[in-house]
Amino acid sequence: MNKIKEPIKINQVLLKNRLVMPPMATSKTSDGYVNQEILDYYSEKSAGGYIGLIITEHSYVNHQGIANMGQVSISRDTDVAGLAKVVEVIHKNGSKVIAQINHAGSAARRKVTGMETLSASAILNTGMTGRNSELPTAMSSEQIQLVIQDFTAASRRAKEAGYDGVEIHSAHGYLLNQFYSPLTNKREDEYGISSMENRLRLHKEIIQSVRAEVGEDYLVALRLGGCDYMEGGSTIEDSVKAARLLESYGIDLLDISGGLNGYVIPKRKESGYFSDMTGQIKREVSIPVILTGGITDIDHADRLIENGRADLIGIGRAILKDSLWAMKAMKE
């Protein structure tokens, strides 16, 4: 076991190893603010610094984009103080940390937000995160511009809080993924389905705006739900095209997962079940690629890197169940 323990530098951030704790929602806050329970959780998970990179749970960029009750906010300047405490805890334990920022789009629910739901098109989200029956409103140009501003402000807050970087969430059927997927995007304008460039136009505009805000030396990652694994949805071939474009737009790190199917693939339980996608993407881009999905064995994680399926490996459920998992695995 050598590859998983090798350091890697991404933009200006040096990770001590290739082990990643992916974003996992804790639902531990009642008002969006970081509380002691959240701090204790990240302190426990990062203890010893055995995890090279921790990506904190998806945080909403505006109130209309809240995905679920208990979600952490990065939508207000008053959030920065609490987020800075999360960073302090993780850095003190010896790991690097980036913030995942998100807008739920049609996966948001009016009973949570008190607001109408928005999406690329007025189409119900039939994926894993599509938990309401309210038809979303197709976003106007003005609403799109506001969302770009919200992602940009969220990235500024992440930098102010001391995060080593920021991850833009475009997976699991949330808003940006809704623009990318043919199942939820039926637009005929410049954000429409006619080309991959159009499907990713909102991504490009957010990335460019975020980059202008945080600077070239700040790590900007993107979680891509590259394939929907559903009839008529995005394909692995789409994911490769998208990855090439996202690299050209200035992304430093690609975190690959599922699209409207969520973070699992129906009827597939094998370790590293997204590796068919990440392997093809890795051959086509020069930036690092994270693979997450059903991996619980550190030796298999090492082999996936050795075999060119990814540069970093995310271990979610194993670390969630056992906070000592990373220590035991990396000491083997």
Active site residues per annotation: 174
- Cα–Cα dist 194/155, whole Å: 30
For residue 8, the number of C-alpha atoms closer than 13 Å in the C-beta half-sphere is 24
Where does residue 169 rank: exposed (0-12), middle (13-18), buried (19+ CB within 10 A)?
Answer: buried
For residue 118, the number of C-alpha atoms closer than 13 Å in the C-beta half-sphere is 21
Q: Are 63 and 115 in contact (CB under 8 A)?
A: yes
Q: Are 64 and 108 in contact (CB under 8 A)?
A: yes
- Nearest-5° Cα angle at 109, 108 to 113: 90
- Cα–Cα dist 256/200, whole Å: 16
Q: Which residue has the tokens 């590859």?
A: 3
Cα separation values, 229 from 18, 137, 267, Å: 27, 25, 11
Q: At what angle do helices 141-160 and 80-93 cross, to 10 degrees?
A: 50
